[in-house]
Structure 1
Amino acid sequence: MAPQRFHEQFDQIQRSMPDVSLAMGPDDAAEFIYEKGVVLARDGEEARLVEDTVRGHFTEATGLTADHVRRAGPETNRSGITRIQVGDPGHGDRRGDRAVAHALRAMREHEARAERRLVSRNHVVSIAVNSCPGDEPVPAPLTQGTNPAAAEAGYDADTAVGVLVIDNGLTHDYGMVPLLAHVQGDVHGTETDTQGNLLQYVGHGTFIAGLLAAVAPNTDITVRNTLNDAGAILEDQFGQRLFDAVDEHGWPDVISLSAGTANGRDDGLLGVQSFMDELRRQRTLLVAAAGNNSSASKFWPAAYADLPGYEDAVLSVGALRSDGEFGACFSNYGSWVQAYAPGERLTSTLTGFDAPAPYLYQHSTYDECRYHFTYACTCQYPRHSGVLSTAGTPTAGKADQVMFEGYAHWSGTSFATPVAAGMVVAYMTANKLGDARAARKKLLAETGAYAEVRGAHVPALRPPTWRPTPVTQLAPPA
């Protein structure tokens, strides 16, 4: 039985949001996840227009009623978004929501006249190993250290660059690692299940912090646990949580964000638009993951890098495979991805520094690359069976267990992102630049290094301390 990663992750996210009914979209194409029965609109007149229009559209001709159309909770203020209930979230199944689809169609004429979007699904934003997974972590020897290895440049409190990591927090033992001496922030909280096994995604934020500190030692890194609940959050809440993070810590030089969602559109996410507009007015550079769907569909907020007015404020990052010459099989791609960095089988800090930490694999590897690449990619190796993939099968209960003792190998655009962010920060330090956006522009202009992704030559940000590894090309199936 072939694993169904997206469906397995959907179930995982649904369990983490027991009070929210979720569906896949668009229709049953499984490109993104969204809340059933609810749409989003901007506060004020636009929210009232959406509410009135949708209520009028729900006639007998649609097979729906207007009874459910109403405001669905308080306005979120800073994010400028109102939730509007348009249907019964309990109707239908995970393959879609007819009420939400009708609500979106009801607003098309108004949007055409306004020449902008007035209504949106309420998407699930997730860390970029979540509903678009790269792979799961693999134990690495404690003696191996990180890859990229720690750069020799030192730390200077007076010139250290501030980096805010929006993720799922730090593991309890991160302070035992000298590399993370200048890292602070939120701890993850609950790390294990009732059997003592690490929960899925635990260590994601710590892994990112280790990569940043290795590539750019002259950093003050703060990790927030904004995405602590199975690595996922609803779009209308995400915009507010981004504001909360910068309100607490101030606008940093760089934000590293390894999360997002597709939405089938070219004009951004309604729920984070206010934050992105404020970001544009600041000096902060947002470095964001392009996602792991092996797709050209835009993944937000990373794809803001392709919108006029945001190109200097956002650096969108795809992943290179372990040899650094080509794109990783899972990486999203397209003209909206500005740069690529190593993102396959990197080595960084996880957990287990104080005592070995057990982990049960949640997903099974595939017999062939699920994206139809012919090299030995993370879809296939290293081999393991997972709890979710084997549920209800003759091999149920036979998931593989491993022990983490500090370091791990892990893959995804989640991790290419802090590598690229570290490259920007290291450039700032080396050239005594105080402006991360100027450093990004100069770094991309001067890099001179390229890789091949889907036939295109793209800027490649490879840290000097990164050690590439050869890939094995597999014989095509008979």
Structure 2
Amino acid sequence: MAPQRFHEQFDQIQRSMPDVPLAMGPDDSAEFFYEKGVVLARDGAEAALVEDRVRTHFTEATGLSADHVRRAGPETNRSGITRIQVGDPGHGDRHGDRAVHHALRALSEAEGRAGHRLVSRNHVVSIAVNACPGDEPVPAPLTQGTNPAPADGPYDADTAVKVLVVDTGLMADFSSSPLLAHTQGDPQLRECDEAGVLQQYVGHGTFIAGLVAAVAPNTEITVRNTLNDAGAILESDFGAALFASVDEHGWPDVISLSAGTSNGRTDGLLGIDAFMTELRAQGTLLVAAAGNNSSATPFWPAAYADLPEYRDVVLSVGALRGDGDYGACFSNHGSWVKAYAPGERLTGVLTGFGAPVPYVYQHSTYDACRYGFTYTCTCQYPRHTGVLSEDRAGTGGKPDQVMFEGYAHWSGTSFATPVAAGMVAAHMTAHKESAPRAALRQLLDATTAYAEVRGAHVPALRPPTWQPVPVVRLAPPA
């Protein structure tokens, strides 16, 4: 059975995509979400092959009518992907889609002969990563400042490292923070609901930009609002959205991407295949979040870092807990995660420094860590009751509300990622290195700091201005 928070987030994302029926996959497990009744294929001959094989499979193998099998949407797009309808999206429930399952099976033999994947589910890519946020933001006092603290160093427009953040946009009053003086980009859409309450994941892109700027002051940061609707986008749209994010100003030095999905495979996402091929031909380094499901399952696009042709192109980043010595309870892990950075209870800019703005918690904390860890992790503290949780006993049925007036504490591989991206950018400036991929190799080769994650010793990228947060270990249950 999938964890409570995964189910809660499913409901949140489904509300943000009311016209796209979604299911969980591959069954009722906490792996991924996908569009019901639709599969993806590459444009042209492969799409025609998929359509033909699926139609034959439904007719011969299942005895079902194949009249519903047809192209769904534009024949071509920038990412070279075609959506093919293989079933009625109204059939079944959230726990799976048999039509999509049959369509994938219909192509298994053809994929074996072709030597590569021909068909895919249309996954939901989310900034919650694995649709399971590390936690929600917690107000931090203005007197505390950020953690990491802003590093010393001048900004030089001629040598500034160009960093692109593909995320939600910038809060309307982001420029009230001196930390974001050299940040530009798209506005955050729909900051508040009709009652003036901040919506979930609002400020995510602003928080990330602030972390990059704190670690690497000589950066020119651009934030795109590619992921505004509950931080989610369909895989079929994701590739084109990534292309659009680099079109206006050209390819940057570094892309910081705190979004993705697992898909049960080890060969990447079909929907971003064209973008990843183009990325490899550029000099840009993609720094991507490993995900927050405490899992070793490859999470894309971060897991491209483990494919030979992308090892110098992508850096996958997991999260360290507050003391920086061990992995955070929520962080994905495994050999495909190439480095870890502080990602628990970081302090950064969430909103501007004007009038306080209310936020109502969406998820409740737990009595014990949902992943079985025994320190006071973000699963448990600070305690709050959320809107999406069914059990609100003792609260009068009311979720908890807080006020934000600038800074927040926030946790997730979403935030370890810009810390790592900032360290690459800072290395480029310090060593006058113009090639970000070369800078990454130099940085990792020079790293003598390690942390322990699931018994493995892994490279730990800890910025000099980051201060550890004390960790309290709980007594084991009697």
Same fold (TM over 0.5): yes
Find the counterpart in structure 2 of residue 404 from structure 1.
404
Amino acid at match of 2:372: H
Amino acid at match of 1:388: L
Whether contact under 8 Å (2:130, 2:293) holds in the other structure is no
**Shift, 1:77, TM fit:** 2.4
Q: What is the CA–CA distance in structure 2 between the aligned matches of 1:196 and 1:379, rounded to whole Å?
A: 27
**Counterpart mapping for 1:386-401 below 5 A:** 386-390=386-390, 395=395, 397-401=397-401
Q: Which runs of 5+ in 1 are unaligned?
A: none
Q: Does 1:341 align with 2:353?
A: no
Find the counterpart in structure 1 of residue 111 from structure 2.
111
Find the counterpart in structure 1 of residue 6 from structure 2.
6
Q: Does 1:175 align with 2:175?
A: yes
Amino acid at match of 1:235: E
Find the counterpart in structure 2 of residue 291 from structure 1.
291
SS in 2 for 1:288: strand
> Scaled by the length of structure 1, what TM-score is found?
0.98
Deviations 1:385-412 (A, max 9, x none): 0011147867464111000010000000
**Counterpart mapping for 1:187-226 below 5 A:** 187-226=187-226
**Shift, 1:202, TM fit:** 0.3
Deviations 1:343-388 (A, max 9, x none): 0000000015111010000010000000000111000000000011
Assess, with a 3 A threshold, how the Cα gap between structure 1 residues 333 and 3 changes in structure 2: closer, same or farther. Answer: closer
Q: What is the CA–CA distance in structure 2 between the aligned matches of 1:130 and 1:24, rounded to whole Å?
A: 11
**Shift, 1:132, TM fit:** 1.9
SS in 2 for 1:387: coil
Find the counterpart in structure 1 of residue 93 from structure 2.
93
Q: What is the CA–CA distance in structure 1 between the aligned matches of 2:51 and 2:392, rounded to whole Å?
A: 43
Q: 3-12 or 89-98: which moved more?
A: 3-12
Find the counterpart in structure 1 of residue 375 from structure 2.
375
Whether contact under 8 Å (2:198, 2:359) holds in the other structure is yes
Q: What is the CA–CA distance in structure 2 between the aligned matches of 1:392 and 1:76, rounded to whole Å?
A: 48
Find the counterpart in structure 2 of residue 231 from structure 1.
231
Q: Does 1:243 align with 2:243?
A: yes
Amino acid at match of 1:121: R
Amino acid at match of 2:46: E
Deviations 1:31-75 (A, max 9, x none): 100000000000000000000000000036425321210000103
Q: How many residues align?
A: 477
Moved over 3 A (4+): 390-397
Find the counterpart in structure 1 of residue 27 from structure 2.
27
Q: What is the CA–CA distance in structure 1 between the aligned matches of 2:29 and 2:265, rounded to whole Å?
A: 15
Find the counterpart in structure 2 of residue 70 from structure 1.
70
Assess, with a 3 A threshold, how the Cα gap between structure 1 residues 224 and 108 changes in structure 2: closer, same or farther. Answer: same
Find the counterpart in structure 2 of residue 437 from structure 1.
437
Q: What is the CA–CA distance in structure 2 between the aligned matches of 1:448 and 1:288, rounded to whole Å?
A: 22
Find the counterpart in structure 2 of residue 265 from structure 1.
265
SS in 2 for 1:143: helix
Q: Does 1:37 align with 2:46?
A: no
- Pairwise CA RMSD: 1.3
Q: What is the CA–CA distance in structure 2 between the aligned matches of 1:320 and 1:459, rounded to whole Å?
A: 11
Amino acid at match of 1:55: R
**Shift, 1:128, TM fit:** 3.3
Amino acid at match of 1:241: A
Find the counterpart in structure 2 of residue 144 from structure 1.
144
Q: What is the CA–CA distance in structure 1 between the aligned matches of 2:130 and 2:295, rounded to whole Å?
A: 15
Amino acid at match of 2:279: L
SS in 2 for 1:309: helix
Whether contact under 8 Å (1:3, 1:365) holds in the other structure is no
Whether contact under 8 Å (1:390, 1:397) holds in the other structure is no
SS in 2 for 1:35: strand
Amino acid at match of 1:456: A
**Counterpart mapping for 1:417-428 below 5 A:** 417-428=417-428
> Scaled by the length of structure 2, what TM-score is found?
0.98
**Counterpart mapping for 1:274-285 below 5 A:** 274-285=274-285
SS in 2 for 1:422: helix
Q: What is the CA–CA distance in structure 1 between the aligned matches of 2:50 and 2:139, rounded to whole Å?
A: 51
Whether contact under 8 Å (1:9, 1:130) holds in the other structure is no
Q: Does 1:327 align with 2:304?
A: no
Q: 64-73 or 208-217: which moved more?
A: 64-73
Find the counterpart in structure 1 of residue 476 from structure 2.
476
**Shift, 1:29, TM fit:** 1.0
Q: What is the CA–CA distance in structure 2 between the aligned matches of 1:243 and 1:470, rounded to whole Å?
A: 41
Whether contact under 8 Å (1:3, 1:366) holds in the other structure is no
Q: What is the CA–CA distance in structure 1 between the aligned matches of 2:368 and 2:68, rounded to whole Å?
A: 46
Assess, with a 3 A threshold, how the Cα gap between structure 1 residues 132 and 284 changes in structure 2: closer, same or farther. Answer: same
Whether contact under 8 Å (2:3, 2:30) holds in the other structure is no
Q: What is the CA–CA distance in structure 2 between the aligned matches of 1:298 and 1:216, rounded to whole Å?
A: 29
Whether contact under 8 Å (2:365, 2:380) holds in the other structure is yes
**Shift, 1:189, TM fit:** 2.0
Whether contact under 8 Å (1:227, 1:233) holds in the other structure is yes
Find the counterpart in structure 2 of residue 153 from structure 1.
153
Deviations 1:438-462 (A, max 9, x none): 0000000001110000000000000
Amino acid at match of 1:163: V
Whether contact under 8 Å (2:385, 2:392) holds in the other structure is no
Deviations 1:96-137 (A, max 9, x none): 000000000000000010111100000000003571210000
Q: What is the CA–CA distance in structure 2 between the aligned matches of 1:420 and 1:239, rounded to whole Å?
A: 23
SS in 2 for 1:62: coil
